[in-house]
């Protein structure tokens, strides 16, 4: 790929030509003009000649695909960066392998005040159990160590870390010999993260954002809050993003709002809403998602943190203040709690005001026809993570182990959500599952339960335009004149149209349909490679030439 040596100013005019531009404005576009950080024109190669003399820069795409940059609608940026730069156990095949990695990490970081890791999943290990505290004490050499499970809703720690939080044994979620959950987990996590120096934290944030940019991600939704991180972490990340040269960060702060004063504080933090991981329940992997009927492999129904009255109070206060509200809800009982609470607000403030606020729900995995209908009625955005199904779905996966095969097959019903008119915003929940936008789209299009599959085009829209709509912007996430110039260039093979129904796919690939193609995401095929990522006309990533 070649381009002129014109200076990289944000207000320059750029002509991109000689590729494939994914745009509803012209399904056969091969060229695009960017002016002052916005898309000014898309069209054919022949028409591009008329712009060539009046631009500051010409980019020869050399056949590359141009798409809107992706928006990852659920990210924990600092934790993602720490996983990228630190101890990542997601690849450990056995418990013994995990303990070996802990030993190696401890030896390689003799000066660290607290050792931090991420990503263990005992459901994938032949031992089928978590590391014991004695095993971790030995592997870490008696040092403080914090190891959250892959879902980040429970953690195993060393004795030395517990000693830093003397009150932990009296908190809910503390059970000797078992992973920490609930308040006990939050307290120990806060102590572990407090040991992270500001420079280390900023380095982790930058590593995560740089990695996102290298994958064609132009915007991330940071899901923070007092039970997850701290205010310095949150405001520091927003400041880093404002400095430019990294993806845009839209921040959510998951703290309950009771009145206008609380809403003002959320805004002063720089948050787009009091949403994200405001926990109604936990996760299926940690047996803390709240269910109507007990787990198949545990004699209880999980954990609930908010009831319908608390949900209603938060949503009402946010709606009155013009602030977006949202919740983390995974289990069917938790999702019922959310919709019951929001229904109470709609009955008092009016349905129109609730819908206009565009409140959102994170994960929303264990939906029923009734809760799907309520999402559509109240205009709730479902912020979902298709990689969860790829990792834990199927008749032999963790979901089936926790719930039984029949209940597990109901999870993550993306097709039903779209049929009902529920807006979807796709994300990763990184570091729970990796930043991987094309892999995320593949997971939605090739869902392990066939009836829940959606077309590649629908999933692509939910991972681009859907993320913008989730923050109240309907004018972005698509390459049309006037939209922000957030785009990515890709090396990929032939473009096609993929849909769950072959009859739809055959018609859509007919040139008469005017449907722009996308890369072939059939499992086993190579995913597109990002060549460049641009945000508001500014390049934030460029792959080195080979």
Per-residue tokens: 491: 């090396």
Determine if residue 459 is left, alpha or beta; phi over 0 gives left, psi from -120 to 50 gives alpha, anything else beta. Answer: alpha
- pLDDT above 90: residue 277: yes
Question: Taking residues 61-68, what's their average pLDDT?
Answer: 97
Instruction: Give the mean pLDDT of the chain.
Output: 93
Please state the φ and ψ torsions of residue 188, each to the nearest 5 degrees.
Answer: -70, -40
Residue 526's SS3 state is coil
Q: How confident is the model at residue 509 (pLDDT cuts 50, 70, 90)?
A: very low
What is the 3 state secondary structure string of 31-65?
Answer: EEEEECCEEEEEECHHHHHHHHHHCCEEEECCCCE
Q: How confident is the model at residue 5 (pLDDT cuts 50, 70, 90)?
A: very low
pLDDT at residue 397, as a whole number:
96
Residue 242: CA count within 13 A, CB half-sphere: 8
Per-residue tokens: 285: 């992997």
Per residue in 436-470, pLDDT (tens digit) is 999 999 999 999 999 999 999 999 999 999 999 99
| Number of C-beta neighbours around residue 329 at 10 A | 31
For the chain, how far is it from start to end, CA to CA, in angstroms? 11
Look up tokens 């927003």; give the residue.
238
Judge contact between 275 and 311, C-beta under 8 A. Answer: no
Question: Taking residues 279-302, what's their average pLDDT?
Answer: 97
Q: Among 261, 225, 213, which Cα is nearest to 534's? A: 213
Run of H or E residues at 193? helix 182-194
**What share of the chain in percent tops pLDDT 70?**
95
pLDDT at residue 223, as a whole number:
98
Torsion of CA 165, 170, 176, 180, to 10 degrees: -60
Rounded Cα gap, residues 216 and 140, in angstroms: 37
Rounded Cα gap, residues 250 and 365, in angstroms: 23
Per residue in 215-239, pLDDT (tens digit) is 999 999 999 999 888 999 999 999 9
- pLDDT above 90: residue 508: no
Rounded Cα gap, residues 439 and 191, in angstroms: 34
Rounded Cα gap, residues 390 and 386, in angstroms: 7
Rounded Cα gap, residues 151 and 290, in angstroms: 15
Question: Taking residues 72-101, what's their average pLDDT?
Answer: 94
Judge contact between 75 and 222, C-beta under 8 A. Answer: yes
Q: Among 542, 537, 480, which Cα is nearest to 22's? A: 480
Residue 288: CA count within 13 A, CB half-sphere: 22
Per-residue tokens: 106: 């401890």
Look up tokens 């000689």; give the residue.
18
Please state the φ and ψ torsions of residue 267, each to the nearest 5 degrees.
Answer: -65, -40
How large is the C-alpha radius of gyration of the chain?
Answer: 23
């Amino acid at each position: 790929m070649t381009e002129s040596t014109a200076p990289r100013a944000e207000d320059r005019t750029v002509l991109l030509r000689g590729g494939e531009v994914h745009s509803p404005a012209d399904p056969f576009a091969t060229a695009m003009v960017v002016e002052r950080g916005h898309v000014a024109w898309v069209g054919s190669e022949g028409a591009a000649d008329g712009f060539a003399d009046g631009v500051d820069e010409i980019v020869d795409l050399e056949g590359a695909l141009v798409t809107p940059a992706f928006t990852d609608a659920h990210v924990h940026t600092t934790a993602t960066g720490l996983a990228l730069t630190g101890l990542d156990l997601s690849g450990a095949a056995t418990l013994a392998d995990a303990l070996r990695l802990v030993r190696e990490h401890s030896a390689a970081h003799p000066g660290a005040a607290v050792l931090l890791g991420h990503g263990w999943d005992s459901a994938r290990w032949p031992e089928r159990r978590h590391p014991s505290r004695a095993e971790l004490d030995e592997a870490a050499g008696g040092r403080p160590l914090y190891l959250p499970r892959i879902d980040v809703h429970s953690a195993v720690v060393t004795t030395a870390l517990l000693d830093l939080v003397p009150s932990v044994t009296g908190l809910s979620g503390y059970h000797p010999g078992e992973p920490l959950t609930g308040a006990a987990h939050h307290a120990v996590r806060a102590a572990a993260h407090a040991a992270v120096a500001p420079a280390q934290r900023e380095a982790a944030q930058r590593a995560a954002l740089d990695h996102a940019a290298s994958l064609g991600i132009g915007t991330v939704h940071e899901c923070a809050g007092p039970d997850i991180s701290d205010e310095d972490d949150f405001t520091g990340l927003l400041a880093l993003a404002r400095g430019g040269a990294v993806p845009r960060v839209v921040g959510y702060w998951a703290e309950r709002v009771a009145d206008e004063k609380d809403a003002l504080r959320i805004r002063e933090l720089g948050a787009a809403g009091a949403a994200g991981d405001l926990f109604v329940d936990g996760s299926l992997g940690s047996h803390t998602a709240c269910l109507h009927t007990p787990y198949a492999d545990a004699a209880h129904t999980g954990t609930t943190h908010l009831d319908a009255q608390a949900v209603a109070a938060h949503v009402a206060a946010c709606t009155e203040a013009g602030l977006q509200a949202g919740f983390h809800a995974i289990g069917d009982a938790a999702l019922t709690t959310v919709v019951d609470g929001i229904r109470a607000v709609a009955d008092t403030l009016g349905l129109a005001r609730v819908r206009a606020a565009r409140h959102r729900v994170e994960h929303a995995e264990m939906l029923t026809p009734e809760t799907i209908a309520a999402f559509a009625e109240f205009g709730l955005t479902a912020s979902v993570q298709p990689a969860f199904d790829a990792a834990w779905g199927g008749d032999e996966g963790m979901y089936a182990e926790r719930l039984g095969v029949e209940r597990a097959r109901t999870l993550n019903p993306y097709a039903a959500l779209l049929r009902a008119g529920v807006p979807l915003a796709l994300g990763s929940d990184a570091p729970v599952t990796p930043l991987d936008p094309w892999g995320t789209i593949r997971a939605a299009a090739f869902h392990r339960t066939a009836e829940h599959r959606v077309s590649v085009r629908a999933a692509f829209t939910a991972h681009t335009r859907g993320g913008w709509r989730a923050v109240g912007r309907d004018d972005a996430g698509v390459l049309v004149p006037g939209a922000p110039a957030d785009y990515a260039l890709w090396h990929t093979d032939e473009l096609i149209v993929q849909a769950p129904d072959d009859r739809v796919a055959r018609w859509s690939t007919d040139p008469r349909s005017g449907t722009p193609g996308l890369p072939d995401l059939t499992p086993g095929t190579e995913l597109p490679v990002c060549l460049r990522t641009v945000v508001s006309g500014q390049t934030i990533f460029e792959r080195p030439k080979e």
